[in-house]
Chain A
Amino acid sequence: MSELVEVNNLTKVYEKKKVALSQVNLIIPRGKIIGLLGPNGSGKTTLIKLISGLLVATEGEILINGSKPGPESKSVVSYLPERTYFQSSMKVKELIDYFADFYQDFRPERAKQMLMNLNINEDARLKTLSKGTKEKVQLIMVMSRDAQLYVLDEPIAGVDPAARDYILRTIISNYNENATVLLSTHLISDIEKILDEVIFIREGKVVLQDTVENIRESKGKSVDTYFREVFAC
């Protein structure tokens, strides 16, 4: 079986010659929870959008299950954008139907259960929800798919610590053993215990890919502390 995601010599240059990613090589295996860590503007979101098929590479390639991003890869990749896009007067329960129409692998019962656990009313209209609640709803939708790859861009940034714990637990207990979660964050200390591996990215280049346990063992410090050293300003 081919790797879940293989990134070869990937370069992305935006207009005005801004280089967002430069010659990135990565392998993202199945069945792992992987943190994509880097300072602001390091290229995390660009990489995530390329994997999700929302941007096109300038050079190099991304292979998901051995093929280039397209309709096929989108059916197995569940993507959480960094911004919430819920401005409509749609109700939460209508959103569930909407996702169920869109994605064959969407599991409405799972979404409903999570909404209940977080005390979110299905009859509420999306535009009336607070920013944090919108984020929760959006993450619930994304995690309620039976995807092979969940790509989460800053999934816990805007939610309160208690809900954050619940969400991390949700990620741990919901993802299937063959699925991989790739998530970007700068809240490393909150999240490192649930990660298998981390990828450090700086100025569009991958500077490290290693397991959390290796880093803790060899450096004698948490990934959070190590990150602060590597990226010290």
Chain B
Amino acid sequence: MAWNLDSDRPIYTQILEEIQMRIITGQYKSGEKIPSVRELAAQAGVNPNTMQKALTELERSGLVMAQRTSGRMVTEDLEMIRQTRNKLAYEQINDFMEKMKKLGFDKEEIVALLKQAEGEKNE
């Protein structure tokens, strides 16, 4: 899968988000090994030190764990993965709410619109 990196944001943040996404969507499964820093850097076409930094941050958050022998694996804590997923969902919702408020909708209107849009889709 391709790594789409924007040119105007720090690379490190974007790699972090991408790996998080891969864990949440199950591309990297709970309890399984993830590719090495070098492999991931080559795949993404980014500097290995930047990739290292992103993985270290993910380790700190607990989403991946360093293994004694070598490499890293995705946490076995499914609850943590679920929480990360929820956190990302809230971020999306906040962004969405911000934009809708700019368009002049209040909360009730937004909820009503959402239901309406979903209803139309299902028809």
Contact = CB atoms under 8 A, between A and B. Distances in A.
Given A194-B46, A194-B47, A173 B7 contact: no
Contacts, number: 54
Contacts of B48: 172, 177
Q: Dominant SS at the A interface?
A: helix
Contacts of A192: 7
Contacts of B12: 213
Interface in A100-133: none
A178 interface: no
Contacts of A33: 47
A217 interface: yes
Given A213-B12, A213-B50, A168 B45 contact: yes
B8 A222 contact: yes
17 contacts: A31-B49, A168-B45, A173-B38, A173-B41, A193-B11, A193-B44, A194-B46, A194-B47, A196-B47, A196-B49, A212-B47, A213-B11, A216-B8, A216-B11, A217-B10, A221-B8, A225-B7
Interface string A184-224: 00000100111110000000000000001100110011101
Contacts of A193: 5, 11, 44-47
A31 B38 CA distance: 13
A229 to B, nearest CB: 13
Interface residues of A, number: 24
Interface of B: 5, 7-12, 38, 41-42, 44-50
B44 to A, nearest CB: 8
A83 interface: no
Nearest to A32: B49
A165 interface: yes
Contacts of A173: 38, 41-42
B10 A216 contact: yes
A33 B50 CA distance: 11
Q: Which 8 A-B pairs have the closest CB atoms?
A: A222-B7, A173-B42, A216-B10, A193-B46, A169-B42, A217-B10, A213-B10, A194-B47
